[in-house]
Chain A
Amino acid sequence: MSSTAKSFQETLAARHRKGWWFEWLCLGSTLFGIAVLVVLLSGIVWQAFGWLDWQFLSSYDSRFPEKAGILAALWGSVWLILLTALISIPIGVGAALYLEEYAKANWLTRIIQVNLSNLAGVPSIVYGILGLTAFVRMFGLIRVPPAIVVISLGFTTVEIPLPGLPFDRTVMSGALTLSLLILPVVIVASQEALRAIPSSLRDASYALGATEWQTIRHQVLPAALPGILTGVILALSRAIGETAPLVMIGALTYLAFTPGGIEGPGDILADPQSLVRAPFDSFTALPLQIFNWVSRPEPAYQHVAAAGILVLLVLLLTMNATAIFIRHRFRSRTRW
């Protein structure tokens, strides 16, 4: 009897030892991700040290690594993200509103929903091919030269430059492509935010005689806004780092001007029309410029690339931090 008890104690100890090893194995795997992040970040900071300065932020790309800068790419990315947000937010939120508030459980709704989850799994480079064919070349079918519409206001005339079709390799093509790419993410995130709104809020609004749209406009949307915003910002921060689709649509990597020639707020005041021109200008973007620098054979460009990566990561972290801030700020206010 005592011998079995002893062997039970022994097996139990062995089992606990095995469990202890297993826990450390799992913890190690978790810490591995964190360790990689630390190595990656510190490695990039180390490579970029001494290269990330004001000169780098304020000059264009160059054949000389010491003179290379990120100005064109920075403004290109800013324009790209602004336009992508302007295009994808209304469409994405609109689609989510339809699916959550209006759609009945029929075949069309089911198809849209299944399609969304499949679209989220399509590689980004395939979106690039779609953008190249549909927006940059417009299937080689449509060709409209650019035009200028002149509106006379009596005391002055306003000239509005209309873009030609196809869009060619412009900010607009890039923004449309990235919008399609992040649309599934925006829609799913907005749907989740809308689903979190209790139906009692809607019922109360209907009971007061509000129509469907009035209910959505004044009750549901404001309540779901923090959730939607968080999802949208995270989706946009994915768009800002996307490289493959931009390589596909052929955004340039060597540019010595910014979209619309805008290098700061002063330029907009001096020439307001540049705001209309900018979306239809050629462009480069941060990840593209980094890719270009990484591909160059001179070792010094590895440092330039690291400096560029640092700028991109700072931008990304700012966006992520904003999303987290919004999530926390508004979660505490919710009253249901």
Chain B
Amino acid sequence: MSTSEAIVKPSAVATSPTFARRFSISRAKEQLIRLSLLCCALISILTTVGIIFVLITESIFAIPPAKAFFQEVSVREFFTETRWTPQFAEQHFGVLPLLTATFLITGIAALFGLPIGLASAVYLSEYASPRVRGFIKPILEVLAGIPTVVYGYFALVFVTPWLLRPIFRDFLGFDVSIFNAASAGIVVGIMIIPMVSSLSEDALRAVPRGLREAGYALGSTKLDVSTKVVVPAAFSGIIASYLLAISRAIGETMIVVIAAGQSPNLTLNPFRSVETMTTFIVNVSLGDTPAGTTVYKSLYAVALTLFCITLMMNILSQWVLSRFREVYE
């Protein structure tokens, strides 16, 4: 600080007053730019504050004349009632059918997507030659970039009539409805494969070579090194990618809206039509529900539940990464 003053000041005085003025103007300009860039960065904070504000004012506390959802329906009813019938004359607001449907579909997706994603990550990181990797990675990126509405179409038009119905209805004799949780779950699973694969692969590749070579030096085969050395060493990264993928599956909207149907059944039967939290939110906004009614506000209560669940998964994933990370140096 003192050295820069010592250099700048005498020359500014000695040469001309315009230099000093120009210098202070440019200083002010620098500050202005810095401030406006800070504002850009603060917009992301504002977004979070906005989301929380919007969800809470409609569901927990409202601005006085209006009433929030939980001031009309008790929290107890919301979480213990087993019927979700907001559009009927006899209204029941029990979120359990929606929660069950969401977790049923997420469960099917996880069962399907997580192992395949991890196996493909192991292949890309441990087995594939650079050429094969360079060929497969862009294809997985394309798969990750396909809009979910397209996946929804795929589930409804291809998976149910061409895969599920021939196997489970015609061959095994289950009653498979056109809209069902299984097709949505399978396709959500397909959707999360690229995400699990790419995040887990990053974790696997971060395991230092030395560990693998130590494994080989002890006479291990590639299978032993992969499953007993590399995967355990990258475990925190793999779990974090699993949690992120599950959180993504829980918040997935268009696939389930198109393929899983709209009947809020409390069921674990994957071949029946169910309504998830996201489907309900979409259905309310597609209909002509006037703002201010309890049904309209229930949208915010469901969204708040969804937001809390996904936020917890994300935080958990970050915690796993930082808490259980193996640091090699």
A-side interface residues toward B, CB under 8 Å?
A: 15-16, 18-19, 22-23, 25-30, 32-34, 36-37, 39-40, 43-44, 47, 90-92, 94-95, 97-99, 102-103, 111-112, 114-119, 121-130, 132-134, 137, 140, 180, 183-184, 187, 211-213, 234, 237-238, 240-244, 247-248, 250, 287, 290-291, 294-295, 302, 305-306, 309, 312-313, 316-317, 320, 324
> Are A40 and B120 closer than 8 Å at their CB atoms?
no
Which one, B43, B224, B258, B318, contacts A291 given CB within 8 A?
B258
> Are A115 and B250 closer than 8 Å at their CB atoms?
no
**Minimum Cβ distance to chain A for residue B97 (Å):** 18
Interchain CA distance A91-B43 in the complex, whole Å: 8
> Are B154 and A112 closer than 8 Å at their CB atoms?
no
Residue interface bits B288-329, CB-to-A below 8 A is 1, else 0: 000100000001100100110011011100100000000000
> Are B291 and A137 closer than 8 Å at their CB atoms?
yes
Which of chain A's residues have a CB closer than 8 A to the CB of B26? Answer: 211
> Are B303 and A91 closer than 8 Å at their CB atoms?
no
* Cross-chain pairs A/B with CB under 8 angstroms, 20 sampled: A30-B119, A33-B116, A40-B150, A40-B154, A44-B153, A91-B40, A92-B40, A94-B40, A95-B37, A102-B37, A102-B38, A121-B244, A123-B251, A125-B281, A183-B43, A287-B149, A294-B156, A316-B147, A317-B142, A320-B141
The segment from B77-85, B132-140, B165-173 that touches chain A is B132-140
Which of chain A's residues have a CB closer than 8 A to the CB of B222? Answer: 19, 23
Which one, B124, B285, B313, contacts A248 given CB within 8 A?
B285
> Are B123 and A23 closer than 8 Å at their CB atoms?
yes
Judged by a CB distance under 8 angstroms, whether B286 is at the interface is yes
Instruction: Name the residue on B nearest A133 (C-beta).
Output: B54
Interchain CA distance A140-B63 in the complex, whole Å: 12
Which one, A90, A97, A132, A291, contacts B149 given CB within 8 A?
A291
- Between B33, B141, B244, the greatest number of chain A beta carbons within 10 A of the residue's beta carbon is seen for B33
**Minimum Cβ distance to chain B for residue A303 (Å):** 10
Which of chain B's residues have a CB closer than 8 A to the CB of A211? Answer: 26, 30
**Minimum Cβ distance to chain A for residue B80 (Å):** 25
- Between B117, B221, B254, the greatest number of chain A beta carbons within 10 A of the residue's beta carbon is seen for B254
Which of chain B's residues have a CB closer than 8 A to the CB of A16? Answer: 221
> Are A94 and B291 closer than 8 Å at their CB atoms?
no
Which of chain A's residues have a CB closer than 8 A to the CB of B38? Answer: 98, 102
Interchain CA distance A69-B186 in the complex, whole Å: 31
Judged by a CB distance under 8 angstroms, whether B12 is at the interface is no
The segment from B45-53, B206-214, B265-273 that touches chain A is B45-53
Interchain CA distance A238-B148 in the complex, whole Å: 10
Instruction: Give the 5 A-B CB pairs with smallest separation, nearest first.
Output: A123-B251, A241-B147, A94-B40, A26-B123, A29-B119
Residue interface bits B123-165, CB-to-A below 8 A is 1, else 0: 1101110000000101111110111111011101110000000
> Are B44 and A112 closer than 8 Å at their CB atoms?
yes
Interchain CA distance A302-B240 in the complex, whole Å: 38
Interchain CA distance A94-B41 in the complex, whole Å: 7
Which of chain A's residues have a CB closer than 8 A to the CB of B314? Answer: 117-118, 121
Interchain CA distance A316-B122 in the complex, whole Å: 29
**Minimum Cβ distance to chain A for residue B277 (Å):** 9
**Minimum Cβ distance to chain A for residue B113 (Å):** 10
> Are B54 and A213 closer than 8 Å at their CB atoms?
no
> Are B51 and A313 closer than 8 Å at their CB atoms?
no
Given the known interface contacts A37-B142, A111-B45, A294-B149, the answer about A98 and B223 at a Cβ–Cβ threshold of 8 Å is no
Interface residue tally of chain B, by bracket? 35 or more
Which of chain B's residues have a CB closer than 8 A to the CB of A115? Answer: 44-45, 48
- Between B40, B115, B141, B227, the greatest number of chain A beta carbons within 10 A of the residue's beta carbon is seen for B40
> Are B285 and A250 closer than 8 Å at their CB atoms?
yes
Given the known interface contacts A40-B146, A247-B282, the answer about A129 and B223 at a Cβ–Cβ threshold of 8 Å is no
Beyond the given A33-B193, A118-B311, A124-B251, please list 13 additional residue pairs across the A-B interface where CB-CB is below 8 A: A19-B223, A23-B123, A29-B120, A94-B39, A102-B37, A112-B41, A125-B251, A126-B303, A126-B307, A134-B54, A243-B254, A244-B254, A320-B145
Which of chain A's residues have a CB closer than 8 A to the CB of B221? Answer: 15-16, 18-19
Instruction: Name the residue on A nearest B309 (C-beta).
Output: A123
> Are A180 and B149 closer than 8 Å at their CB atoms?
no
Interchain CA distance A96-B310 in the complex, whole Å: 25
**Minimum Cβ distance to chain B for residue A289 (Å):** 10
Interchain CA distance A117-B36 in the complex, whole Å: 22
Which of chain A's residues have a CB closer than 8 A to the CB of B115? Answer: 29
Judged by a CB distance under 8 angstroms, whether B253 is at the interface is yes
> Are B36 and A123 closer than 8 Å at their CB atoms?
no
Which of chain A's residues have a CB closer than 8 A to the CB of B194? Answer: 33
> Are B40 and A95 closer than 8 Å at their CB atoms?
yes
**Minimum Cβ distance to chain A for residue B16 (Å):** 17
Interchain CA distance A133-B257 in the complex, whole Å: 22
Instruction: Name the residue on B nearest A317 (C-beta).
Output: B142
Which of chain A's residues have a CB closer than 8 A to the CB of B183? Answer: none
Interchain CA distance A37-B285 in the complex, whole Å: 32
Judged by a CB distance under 8 angstroms, whether B226 is at the interface is yes
Which of chain B's residues have a CB closer than 8 A to the CB of A33? Answer: 116, 120, 139-140, 143, 190, 193-194, 197
Interchain CA distance A122-B146 in the complex, whole Å: 19
> Are A98 and B285 closer than 8 Å at their CB atoms?
no
> Are B153 and A306 closer than 8 Å at their CB atoms?
yes
Judged by a CB distance under 8 angstroms, whether B55 is at the interface is yes
> Are B122 and A123 closer than 8 Å at their CB atoms?
no
**Minimum Cβ distance to chain B for residue A111 (Å):** 7
Interchain CA distance A203-B30 in the complex, whole Å: 17
Interchain CA distance A277-B248 in the complex, whole Å: 37
> Are A34 and B310 closer than 8 Å at their CB atoms?
no
> Are A129 and B156 closer than 8 Å at their CB atoms?
no
**Minimum Cβ distance to chain A for residue B69 (Å):** 13
Judged by a CB distance under 8 angstroms, whether B278 is at the interface is yes
Interchain CA distance A316-B144 in the complex, whole Å: 12
